[in-house]
């Protein structure tokens, strides 16, 4: 296997490869762009015009997606997987990955779309670097741009694998892309309704890619992800990379579609979230339920029929969302 196929090993050891460009037997070009960043280019005769960005480890303790990308990179380096697409593999927060922590000081996935300019520290610098790498990768015109940002969640979920689809004014969500994700094992999708500061929102809103945050199960340490079944997603990613995903359109295969009703924003240290600590994503909340309170008499009371909660987290920094109320889109 080519040395550049060991991107994860290099990252964990904080090492640079001796050779920063290598070619596989099939003529696939692998280029190391920096810590946790590997660009893969197909032979010109195979290039199908797809630019595919695959990122994981934006939160350092979300290891199942990192292991999935590692397997794909190994397959390319061994010549077992011959790309027809250009692919950029990014391991988002290398130091947090090495420490097995979600982040060090700041949540990197709240530092995109220029938000890093309002902050400082190593993770703000990393967000800026990830934006630069993505922008450079997607700079060619006339090519298809697709980004999957792979995550696992802090808590359990009643719907284990689901996608978040960013929003941009005047731009329609693609049923074709949602059907593709259904084939990849996503059981639900959340259509967002406002601009965001996540990595997938940056590539969607600023770089014009089709982009998604994919949640694949619960976060566990390296080597303990046997319960996280990413087999369908791995098949889809393999087909996208080698050009064999030729299915155009298709139905959503029972995928549940939700939309954002409200975000719960933590404003002060007085914020209280009235939910059990172990509540799962997609738990239903009845109308009239007092969801949260904050200083100055602020109250979030559930008014929506069929409301569910995702990403409840009262420990976020002030000014960030402490949960999202969602409802069925149909």
Distances (CA, A) of 36 to 57, 62, 139: 10, 15, 20
Q: Is 131 labeled as catalytic in the residue annotation? A: no
The catalytic residue among 39, 129, 160, 215 is: 215
Kindly report the number of other CB atoms within 10 A of residue 305's CB atom.
9
d(CA 2, CA 9): 13
d(CA 74, CA 201): 28
Across the chain, the runs of DSSP E, i.e. the strands, are 21-23, 29-34, 37-41, 50-56, 86-91, 144-153, 162-165, 188-191, 210-218, 256-265, 272-273, 283-284, 290-294, 298-301, 308-310, 321-328
Kindly report the number of other CB atoms within 10 A of residue 251's CB atom.
10
Helix residue spans in 37-196 (DSSP H): 63-77, 94-99, 122-137, 175-183
d(CA 109, CA 102): 11
Dihedral angle of Cα 194, 178, 51, 63, to the nearest 10 degrees? 80
d(CA 49, CA 112): 26
Supply the DSSP symbol for 173: P
Burial grade of 288 (CB within 10 A; 0-12, 13-18, 19 or more): exposed
Q: What is the DSSP pairing of strand 290-294 with strand 298-301?
A: antiparallel
Do 163 and 179 contact (CB within 8 A), yes or no?
no
Q: Point out the residues that are catalytic.
A: 215
């Amino acid at each position: 296997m080519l040395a550049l196929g060991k991107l994860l090993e290099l990252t964990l050891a904080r090492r640079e490869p001796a050779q920063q460009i290598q070619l596989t037997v099939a003529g696939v070009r692998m280029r190391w762009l920096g810590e946790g960043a590997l660009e893969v280019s197909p032979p010109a005769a195979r290039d199908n015009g797809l630019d595919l960005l695959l990122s994981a480890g934006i939160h350092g303790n979300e290891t199942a997606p990192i292991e999935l990308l590692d397997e794909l990179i190994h397959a390319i380096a061994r010549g077992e997987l011959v790309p027809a697409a250009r692919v950029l593999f990014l391991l988002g927060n290398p130091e947090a990955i090495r420490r097995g922590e979600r982040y060090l000081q700041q949540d990197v996935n709240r530092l995109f779309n220029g938000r890093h300019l309002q902050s400082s520290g190593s993770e703000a610098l990393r967000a800026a670097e990830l934006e630069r790498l993505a922008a450079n990768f997607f700079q060619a015109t006339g090519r298809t741009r697709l980004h999957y940002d792979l995550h696992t969640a802090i808590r359990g979920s009643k719907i284990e694998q689901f996608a978040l689809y960013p929003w941009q004014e005047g731009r329609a969500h693609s049923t074709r892309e949602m059907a593709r994700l259904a084939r990849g094992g996503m059981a639900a999708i959340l259509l967002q309704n406002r601009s965001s500061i996540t990595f997938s929102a940056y590539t969607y809103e600023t770089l014009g890619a089709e982009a998604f945050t994919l949640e694949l199960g619960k976060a566990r340490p390296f080597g303990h992800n046997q319960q996280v079944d990413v087999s369908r997603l791995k098949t889809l990613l393999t087909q996208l990379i080698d050009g064999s995903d030729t299915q155009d359109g298709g139905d959503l295969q029972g995928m549940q579609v939700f939309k954002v009703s409200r975000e719960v924003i933590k404003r002060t240290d007085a914020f209280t979230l009235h939910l059990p600590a172990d509540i799962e994503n997609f738990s239903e909340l009845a109308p009239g339920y007092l969801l949260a309170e904050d200083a100055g008499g602020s109250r979030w009371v559930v008014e929506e029929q069929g409301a569910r909660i995702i990403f409840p987290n009262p420990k976020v920094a002030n000014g960030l969302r402490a949960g999202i109320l969602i409802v069925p889109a149909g």
